[in-house]
Amino acid sequence: MTGHLTAPAAALADALPDWVTLLRAPNPGPMTLDGTNTWVLRAAPGAPAVVIDPGPADDGHLDRIAGHGPVASVLISHGHPDHTEGSAPLVDRLAGVAVRAVDPAHTIGGAPLTPDAPIEAAGLTVRVLPTPGHTTDSVCFLAQVGDERVVLTGDTILGRGTTVVAHPDGHLGDYLASLELLSVYRGIPALPGHGPALADCAAAAEYYLAHRRARLDQVRAAVAEGATTAGEVVAKVYADVDRSLWWAAEWSVRAQLEHLGVEQP
């Protein structure tokens, strides 16, 4: 039986590129792991930076981000509050720098993100990779300085364990397609929204794909054995998961059942 994945899906990165800084928010928990990762990307000392995910509205954390100015723009991987609550107070600290997301509801003072418009900042290029699944608005970012690249994966790939497909906003078919897209970035580090950096984005994506497909087989089997509700499937398939997290597992099960065409009460 496929067990609950709690370890990293690929080898950990030995070190971050010298143009990447991690600022981890003080909001650890079962869903946020060690806390939300805010990434600061800067091509050279003194150059304007790009900030990925402000994180929660924690004054100390936001002051640390602002201390890494100047900042050219702030980008959002997806709209969950642990990534976006700090957006407005960070804009106040950064004198009106734009916050850009796919969803206009999380965009402040700029245009929403689109995959055909790279973000340029003094030698840094950030391209938007549409990766829906965890949420409808989820994106990853392919960032490059010179010949060096990283993929910032938000909650699509985590540094440890797996992410939930946040049904009904998230869709499993979209998520599997997004993992297929990320599986082409062989040998490129993955910098996640939670947990440690991983050495190989493609290896993590392929591991996730195999894990998700194995889970789908388990859900099929549970339904064939008579499970009729998401809760009953969770009890069979996620029995090794702490019961305090079954509510999150039920999100993913609902997405799995929808993907399999199973009607749900």
Indicate the DSSP class of residue 47: S
Residue 156 in this model has a pLDDT that exceeds 90: yes
What single-letter amino acid sits at 211?
H
Environment class of 186 (CB within 10 Å of its CB; exposed 0-12, middle 13-18, buried 19+) = exposed
Full-model pTM: 0.92
Residue 265 in this model has a pLDDT that exceeds 80: no
pLDDT value at residue 1: 28
pLDDT value at residue 263: 81
pLDDT, tens digit, 9 for 90 and up, residues 197-241: 999 999 999 999 999 999 999 999 999 999 988 899 999 988 888
* Top-confidence residue, 31 or 72: 72
Give the integer Cα–Cα distance in Å for 114 and 176. 21
Determine the average pLDDT of the residues in 118-136: 96
What single-letter amino acid sits at 18?
D
Determine the average pLDDT of the residues in 44-54: 96
What H or E segment, with its residue span, contains residue 208?
helix 201-224
Q: Single out the residue of 149, 162, 131, 156 nearest to residue 189, CA to CA.
A: 149
Chain centre distance of CA 188: 16
pLDDT, tens digit, 9 for 90 and up, residues 2-44: 445 667 888 999 999 999 999 999 999 988 999 999 999 999 9
* Top-confidence residue, 183 or 246: 183
Average pLDDT over all residues of the chain: 93
Q: Single out the residue of 179, 176, 164 nearest to residue 234, CA to CA.
A: 164
Residue 142 in this model has a pLDDT that exceeds 60: yes
Cis bond leading into 70, ω under 30°?
A: yes
Environment class of 172 (CB within 10 Å of its CB; exposed 0-12, middle 13-18, buried 19+) = buried
Residue 248 in this model has a pLDDT that exceeds 80: yes
Residue pair 156/170 in contact by the 8 Å Cβ criterion: no
Residue 180 in this model has a pLDDT that exceeds 70: yes
- Total residue length of the chain: 265
Tell me the backbone φ, ψ of residue 125, rounded to 5 degrees. -120, 130
Residue pair 84/116 in contact by the 8 Å Cβ criterion: no
pLDDT value at residue 206: 97
